[in-house]
Structures are given as C-alpha cells and as structure tokens.
Structure 1
Amino acid sequence: MNDRMSEAENRLARIERLLADGEREVVPAWRRATQGEPRWAVTAVILLAVVLQLALPHRLALQPYWALPALELVLLAGLIVGNPRRVEPRTRWLRVLGLVLMCAISLANGWAAVRLVVGLVNGTEGEDAGPLLLTGGGIWLTNVIVFALWYWEWDRGGPMARVQGHHQYADFLFVQMQSPETAPQDWEPTFLDYLYLSFTNSTAFSPTDVMPLSRWAKMLMMLQSSVSLVTVVLVVARAVNILH
C-alpha cells in the first residue's frame, strides 16, 4: 500500500514538473517575472542628455543654466546607489526618483525648444546656419531621449513592474511579441528597444515596426511626432534661408 502511494506521489510530482516546464515554454519572458535589465544603457543615455543640455546656448536654458543639469546628475546618482547594476523593484522611492529625473530632463529640453521656436518666429535666433543646425540637432536628439525614457517608464507600469510580470497587457507591441520564433526565449523589451522606438517615431513621424496599443501610448507618440516635426521644419527652413 505504501509503495503504491509513493509511486502515485512520484507520478504526481513528475506531472507537476512537466506542467511547470510547459508553462515556462508557453508564457513568453516579457510576461513572466524575470531579472531586471542592466542599468548601463539608460545611465549612458541620460548622461548624454545632460551633456547636450550643457552644450546648448545658455540663453535658451532655464537660469541658472547649470541648475537643472546638476539636479539631474544628483537624481541619477541616487538611482545608481539604489540599484547600481540592474533596474529592479527594491523600494518605492526609486521609481519616484526616476519620474522626477524624467520630468527635469523634459522641462529643460521643452523650455529650450520653446525658446528656440519663439526666437525663430520673431527673428531673434538663427543668424548663422551652422550654430543653428547644431542647436536644433541637440534639442531634437534630447527630445528622442526624453520620449524614450517616458515610453520605457510607462509601458506596462515601468521597468520595475515589468520585472515582476504584474501587467499582462502591453502598451507597445514589439515584433518579438507577435512572432516569438524570431527571438530568443528569454527576450523582453529593454531601454534600447524604447530608444529605437523613439528615434523612428521622430524621423518617420509615425509608428514603424512597434505599434502603440493603449490610448496614452498613441497620444504620447503623436505629441513626440508633432514636436519633432515643428523643430525640424523651422530649423531647416531657417538654415536654408540663411544659406541662400
């Protein structure tokens, strides 16, 4: 009798292991609880955004011109101390720090873009084509970084929520989600995927291979395309006019 019960228990354990293995194979990595993505990519891009802000003409920045970049570096240092190697859900204040950091970068670049556009319309900016193109290019590139951060931070609740696999419905549909056979089994979107999404949306002014699914994702992509279009059209038109 004991032998039969032991055999039945062993059979049940094997079945449970098979079911667990089958679940891991069926459920993709981006819908499961996984390890947090490395922090180096988002850290490097944020540092690039700070450098671009400091390189802009000081008259376009909120005064004092060094205040927001300094705040951004302090906030970034706090995030690195809290999660030095990977973006993982440790404490709630880390997400608050990340959101404040993105707001600071967005405010700095948005202010510079508005000042540049107003100056171009009033004729007080853009006397030399070379510096104008460099300034417009810096604002445009920072705009790509800004929206990449927002996409990365809000898709399925942000990187910390995605690690836990809490949100099953994606806000952005990547190719690997539609065709899992085209990617490794452990594939899931990281910051560089959102950076690519932001870049293509700023250059094509429309979705390319990543489709927005939620309403907020569609509105955010529409806003980015509008800002990019206005910046590119005004800067290029003024530069061409100067060269002629």
Structure 2
Amino acid sequence: MSTADNNSTDNPVPAWARRTAGEARWAATAAIIGILVVQYFLPEQFTAGPRWLVPAIGLVLLVVLVIGSPVRLDREEMRLRRFSLLLMGLLGFSMLWSVGQLVRGLINGSVSNNAAGLLTSGGAIWLTNVLVFALWYWEFDRGGPAARAHARKPYPDFLWVQMQNPDLTDPEWEPQFPDYLYLSFTNATAFSPTDVMPMSRWAKTLMMTQSAVSLLTVSLVIARAVNVLK
C-alpha cells in the first residue's frame, strides 16, 4: 500500500504506526550542538581530556550525519546508523565522565568552595544529562528515527499518551525529538515515569539509570552548595 493510501481519511492507522516522510533533523541537531557547547565551556576538571576534544570529535561526526541526511531523517543506511551510534556513545561517555568527576570532587572536597560556580557547573552537567538521555531515547525507540519513518517495528518502546487516546489525537501525530526531550526532563526531575510509560526492558533500564544519575547529581550539588553558603 502506498504512503498516499495510508494518508487517506479512510485509513485508521495513526502516523506513528505507518510509513511517513521522516522527522526533520533540526531539533535533535540543536540539542547535540548544545551539548557540545556546554562541554566546551565546562571547567577542565569535569571534561574527558582537553575541553575541546569531545566538541571537536562530536562536530565532525555531526557534520557527516548532516551531509548524509541533511533535511529529514529517513535514510536507512548502516554507515549513517553507525556514525549516529558513535556520536551517541561519545556524548554519553562525556556526560557520565562529567558526572563521575563532579561526584568524586564533591566527596573528596576538591571541588571549588565557590557556591555560584558549583551550582553553575552542576546545573550544566544536569542539563547535559537531560539532553543526552533525550537523544538516547530518541535514537533507540523502535530502532531510531529512520526506522520509525519506515514503520519497521510495530511495537513501541515507549507508550505515549497520544497512543492511548487516539480519538483525542491528530492522526498525523508521531513522536519526535521534542517529545523525547519532555520525557527526559520529567524523568530527570520526578525521578520516575510521569505520563510516558517505558514498555521494553532497555527503556526501563535507561530511565532508571537517568533517574539515578539525576538524583545523585542534584542531591550532592545542593548539599555542597548549602554547606558552602552555611
């Protein structure tokens, strides 16, 4: 059946469950650039190597991905998928390294006694946590954005409110990066699922990991800042 037939008003299949044109890449690209900028401006005690290293490597990988699929994320090529996973791994490693260095510094007392600086660095690392996990959810849900555009996997890894209430949802709705950003933000602040339920085991594990990282970061940074401010 053609895409045009799928889009007809007689077809009850929602957009998230059928083949579509593919998601525009601008939102996810903006998030990646934001992470690289934050990494560059973090103090070097929280970065893996020189502070320019991760942003430089990440920018090269991002340029390759933009060249390979400049407008919409609908190209299913193993080469692009590998570059995308490599970039996600790099961003994840740099985020976890920053969290580890922050926690170690708070425990051994090597982090600056400047409360404003501590809160700024801690907030930047927490923001990176939100953006990185949003990208991970977005990259792995039903095989990634390109696989979702081609409706390769019928069963979702995340159960969205729109999927549970099709009568109240635009039939052209499908999850895109802003939806995964919302999922990541609420999980990092509530430390648990809110209105988006993880369905697969990897999704549950990833959400549990993010909640643990966020709780550890927020609690230690606030406790140290309060102690510094007396």
TM class, shorter-length: over 0.9
Q: Tell whether 2:142 aligns with 1:156.
A: yes
In structure 2, the residue matched to 1:131 is 117
1:161-216: CA deviations, max 9, x gaps?
A: 11111100001000000001222111100011001000000000011110001111
Q: 1:1-244, aligned counterparts within 5 Å?
A: 25-244=11-230
With normalisation by structure 1, the TM-score equals 0.89
With normalisation by structure 2, the TM-score equals 0.95
CA distance in 2, matches of 1:155, 1:64: 33
Q: Which amino acid aligns with 1:133?
A: L
Structure in which a larger fraction of residues adopt helix = 1
Q: Which amino acid aligns with 2:211?
A: S
Contact 2:122 2:217 in 1 (8 A): yes
Task: Return closer, same or farther for 1:180/1:77 CA change in 2, 3 Å cut-off.
Answer: same
Number of aligned residues = 226
Task: Return closer, same or farther for 1:24/1:224 CA change in 2, 3 Å cut-off.
Answer: farther
Task: Return closer, same or farther for 1:88/1:127 CA change in 2, 3 Å cut-off.
Answer: same
Distance apart, 1:24 and its partner CA:
5.6
Contact 1:72 1:104 in 2 (8 A): yes
Q: Which amino acid aligns with 1:92?
A: M
* % identical equivalent positions: 54
Aligned-pair RMSD on alpha carbons? 1.5
CA distance in 1, matches of 2:74, 2:177: 13
Task: Return closer, same or farther for 1:117/1:20 CA change in 2, 3 Å cut-off.
Answer: closer
Unaligned 5+ segments in structure 2 are none
Give 1 or 2 for the bigger CA radius of gyration. 1
Task: Return closer, same or farther for 1:117/1:21 CA change in 2, 3 Å cut-off.
Answer: closer
Unaligned 5+ segments in structure 1 are 1-18
